Structure 1
Amino acid sequence: MNYETSLTSETDLLDPQAAEQKRRKRNIIVALVILTIAALAAAYFIFGGKDEGAANSAADKQAQAQTVTVVAPGSDTVVRAINATGTLAARREVPVGVVGEGGQVARVFVDAGDWVQQGQVMATIERSVQTQQIAGIEAQINASRADLRLAQNELDRALQLVDRGFISKADVDRKTATRDSARARVGVTEAQLREMRARTARLDIRAPVGGYVLERKVEPGQIVGQGTGVLFRVANGGELELQAQLSENDLAAVSLGVAASVTPVGTDRQFTGKIWQIAPMINAQTRQGIARIALPFDRALKPGGFASVQIKAGAMAAPVLPESAVQNDKDGSFVYIVGKDNKVVRRGVKTGDVTASGLIITDGLDGTERVVLYAGGFLNPGETINPKLLKKQ
């Protein structure tokens, strides 16, 4: 026992009340320390354990989440292409029929698939009657000219005798009238001859324009007239076109001079043309209009045939996604993107044309999102996933 302990014990013995107060203080301090330690332990088990449990639960959920391939589409410059179909036709088709009174066809000089020049005889009608009529009029002209010469000679002699007093002035006037009448008859018969020759010339069926003969509907021996209808069809200059049927939206997106690539049915050949006319009206039943695409002549292009066309309607910057990333339901097109805490979020989109790179997204994405590429049909909004980013090639 040291001196200090001996002194304390002696002090306690001398003042028992002070010693009791010291023991109480010491017990209170010990109790407070024990309570503090207990409170801290309880707080640890209540809050710290709960946080740890939540962390462990979140980690477990993330570990159990399915791995899903996602892609960040970015923004690509794509050429908007409008795909349509239509009918091949002559750009300007000219029907050819009978101009005159008609008759029996004597000869046909051209066939479908031939080229003709403007004014070229395509067929001729038998004209034996007209030939005889022309001969008769020519004879009348000769007779009228002979009468005119006779009347002119008599008038000339009368004028020489009138000064000598052998013939009266009245006789000169009568001979002058006879001469003028004979001259008029010559003019009338000459006009009749010109008319008959013009009518006979109209028995030759001529090409009104130069071009490519599309159709022949006449044969030798056939009787033709004003009511016969069309005998030939000619493509003016051989120019062809595709009459493409476009929807209202597509028709509003094209303009004159826009290039187009035409592929006729039954061939792999492509022909390049340009839009030269856009229909000013929309069909009320089909809600479509016609864009007329001018094409160069080629025998592989058959008027009346069917063809597909791709029209280049300009470039635009937009995200492009594989078709597997885009889902559809009653509310329209949508994609799944990766949101906060790797949770799936539904995003509605508007789609455009299908290109070789994928489906153009015209609205709903800016290209920076992580979009679920596959398995979108097996996910639900709010579901936690483990995204695996696929780098664009």
Structure 2
Amino acid sequence: MNEQSATLAIAADEELEARRKKRRILMIVGAVLVLALVVFGLSRIGGNASDSPAAAGAQRAGQAARVTVIVPGASDVARTITASGSLEARRDQPVGVSGQGGRVVSVLAEPGDWVRQGQLLAQIERSVQSQEAAQIRANVAAAQADAALAKNELDRAKALEERGFVSKADIDRKQAAYDAANARVRVNQAQLGATNARIAQLDVRAPTSGLILDRNVEVGQVVSAGTPMLFRMARGGEMEMRAKLSQQDLNRVSVGMPVEVTPVGSDKVFTGTIWQVSPVIDPQNRQGEVRIAIPYDEAIRPGGFAEARISGGVTSAPLLPQSAVLADAAGNYVYIVNDNDEVERRNVTVGRVDDEGVTIAAGIDGTERVVSRAGSFLAEGRKVDPVREAAAQE
């Protein structure tokens, strides 16, 4: 039994050792595979940068790397200026208290309501003013009665004067009394008119026809001429977008140019028109404001944000693939290959970017050999082996 147990133990040890060897072999094979994948990936990156494994090998050997270049020439591209800005009422009208004010007894308009010019928006309590007006009307009636009495006395005196019973002096006194009575009538009537005008000012009315944007008053609130606006409205419902443009783009736009406006969060595109171009440039950011008139729509909400596309006609400029344009902290740039087949960095100004490629507004004129796929392996002054590729539009 001891010999049999020993034999079994030896067999178990041998089996365990075999499993350990197998595990070590699998680990080594796995490491080799990972290393092979890393080497393959590096070779692919080198291949993409130099366009062939042979060029990658030449690069490792210190030879010139092969790169693909493109001579873009000049293409006719649509000049489109993009901008963003806020949506506003074209004429934002505050509505407040024009008189002495008082306690609000009714509010008759809500945000989103369309109102006509002169329409009643809110009423202010007027009991005291009404009593004053009643008192002045009574004074007017009394003054008119005094004037009528003075008129009758003057007429009788004139009739008696012809018979010699009344002197000229008496006639003059009665004429003066009559004139004074008429003057008192006019004074009271003027006071009544002023009181009625003050009462009318207790009605808050729409200054023009338009859309109510905001309401800042409630029933029971005490308001006066110093109270901030009670309502805010857009005259005629007219809306606009206020976009900021660079000084360069501002020189390319003019009043009357069509603009496509898309509010943020909406898929609707509205056709607007530039109605004002700022005559000044902000010295802080070197930008100017363009105001774009937009027809009213429920999607146009003042205070919101929108994107604008201004069509500026057609211009001739180099068109590059997006892979050719790089960017860093200094801005956008491309790599070009000079007459000595050496790499040079060229800073550029990017214009329009779309599916066709990148329009270069400044920096190159289209006659340069531009590296079409500029990899991170390139550096200024490096010798390369350029292979020309046909331009997309040449």
Could you state the TM-score of these two structures normalised by the residue count of structure 1? Answer: 0.76
Tell me the distance in 1 between the aligned counterparts of 2:388 and 2:281. 49
Q: Which amino acid aligns with 2:97?
A: V
Check 1:98–1:386 CA distance in 2 against 1; reply closer, same or farther (3 A cut). Answer: closer
Tell me the distance in 2 between the aligned counterparts of 1:287 and 1:364. 21
Q: Which amino acid aligns with 1:75?
A: A
Counterpart residue number, 2:206 = 207
Q: Any conservation in 1 of the 2:334–2:370 contact (CA below 8 Å)?
A: no
Q: Percent identity?
A: 50
SS of 1:378's partner is coil
RMSD value, Cα: 2.7
Q: Which amino acid aligns with 2:258?
A: A
Alignment of 1:103-118 (within 5 A): 103-118=102-117
Counterpart residue number, 1:336 = 336
Residue by residue, what CA displacement relative to the aligned partner does 1:312-341 show, whole Å, maximum 9, x if unpaired? 23321011001211345669623334857x
Residue by residue, what CA displacement relative to the aligned partner does 1:332-368 show, whole Å, maximum 9, x if unpaired? 623334857xx45536252331322211123454445
SS of 1:215's partner is strand
Alignment of 1:344-355 (within 5 A): 345-346=343-344, 348=346, 350-355=348-353
- 1:288 has 2:287 as partner: yes
Check 1:379–1:222 CA distance in 2 against 1; reply closer, same or farther (3 A cut). Answer: closer
Tell me the distance in 1 between the aligned counterparts of 2:79 and 2:206. 43
- 1:361 has 2:349 as partner: no
Structure 1 residue 257, shift from structure 2 partner: 2.3
Check 1:137–1:379 CA distance in 2 against 1; reply closer, same or farther (3 A cut). Answer: closer
Check 1:384–1:68 CA distance in 2 against 1; reply closer, same or farther (3 A cut). Answer: closer
Counterpart residue number, 2:131 = 132
Greater Cα shift, 231-240 or 286-295: 286-295
Residue by residue, what CA displacement relative to the aligned partner does 1:54-97 show, whole Å, maximum 9, x if unpaired? xxxxxxx8xx9766444442321112222222111111111111
SS of 2:251's partner is helix
Residue by residue, what CA displacement relative to the aligned partner does 1:154-207 show, whole Å, maximum 9, x if unpaired? 111111111212222222222222211211111111111111111111111111
Counterpart residue number, 1:57 = none
Structure 1 residue 302, shift from structure 2 partner: 0.8
SS of 1:167's partner is coil
Counterpart residue number, 1:387 = 387
SS of 1:336's partner is strand
Structure 1 residue 387, shift from structure 2 partner: 2.0
What is the number of residues matched between the two proteins? 331
SS of 2:152's partner is helix
Counterpart residue number, 1:7 = none
Tell me the distance in 2 between the aligned counterparts of 1:306 and 1:87. 5
Alignment of 1:265-284 (within 5 A): 265-284=264-283
Q: Any conservation in 2 of the 1:240–1:296 contact (CA below 8 Å)?
A: yes
Counterpart residue number, 1:238 = 237
Q: Any conservation in 2 of the 1:336–1:376 contact (CA below 8 Å)?
A: no
Check 1:96–1:359 CA distance in 2 against 1; reply closer, same or farther (3 A cut). Answer: same
Counterpart residue number, 1:301 = 300
Check 1:345–1:65 CA distance in 2 against 1; reply closer, same or farther (3 A cut). Answer: closer
Tell me the distance in 1 between the aligned counterparts of 2:202 and 2:179. 35
Q: Any conservation in 2 of the 1:351–1:359 contact (CA below 8 Å)?
A: no
Alignment of 1:17-28 (within 5 A): none
Q: Which amino acid aligns with 1:223?
A: V
Greater Cα shift, 65-74 or 218-227: 65-74
Q: Any conservation in 2 of the 1:69–1:389 contact (CA below 8 Å)?
A: yes
Alignment of 1:134-173 (within 5 A): 134-173=133-172
Q: Which amino acid aligns with 1:179?
A: Y
SS of 2:99's partner is coil
Tell me the distance in 2 between the aligned counterparts of 1:89 and 1:288. 19
Q: Which amino acid aligns with 1:310?
A: R
Tell me the distance in 1 between the aligned counterparts of 2:365 and 2:104. 72
Structure 1 residue 225, shift from structure 2 partner: 0.4
Counterpart residue number, 1:15 = none
Q: Which amino acid aligns with 1:275?
A: I
Counterpart residue number, 1:38 = none
Tell me the distance in 1 between the aligned counterparts of 2:391 and 2:176. 110
Alignment of 1:191-230 (within 5 A): 191-230=190-229
Tell me the distance in 2 between the aligned counterparts of 1:189 and 1:365. 84
Tell me the distance in 2 between the aligned counterparts of 1:320 and 1:305. 35
Check 1:388–1:246 CA distance in 2 against 1; reply closer, same or farther (3 A cut). Answer: closer
Residue by residue, what CA displacement relative to the aligned partner does 1:270-311 show, whole Å, maximum 9, x if unpaired? 222122222233333333322211111111111111222222
Greater Cα shift, 364-373 or 87-96: 364-373
Q: Any conservation in 1 of the 2:120–2:203 contact (CA below 8 Å)?
A: yes
Q: Which amino acid aligns with 1:189?
A: N
Q: Compare CA radii of gyration and give the structure with the larger one.
A: 1
Tell me the distance in 2 between the aligned counterparts of 1:65 and 1:285. 48
Tell me the distance in 1 between the aligned counterparts of 2:173 and 2:113. 63
Q: Any conservation in 1 of the 2:65–2:383 contact (CA below 8 Å)?
A: no
Tell me the distance in 2 between the aligned counterparts of 1:391 and 1:181. 100
Q: Any conservation in 2 of the 1:95–1:230 contact (CA below 8 Å)?
A: yes
Q: Any conservation in 1 of the 2:335–2:374 contact (CA below 8 Å)?
A: no
Q: Which amino acid aligns with 1:87?
A: S
Q: Any conservation in 2 of the 1:265–1:306 contact (CA below 8 Å)?
A: yes
Q: Any conservation in 2 of the 1:76–1:320 contact (CA below 8 Å)?
A: yes
Residue by residue, what CA displacement relative to the aligned partner does 1:226-269 show, whole Å, maximum 9, x if unpaired? 11121111112211111112233333333222322222121122
Tell me the distance in 2 between the aligned counterparts of 1:297 and 1:84. 20
SS of 2:250's partner is helix
Q: Which amino acid aligns with 2:334?
A: F
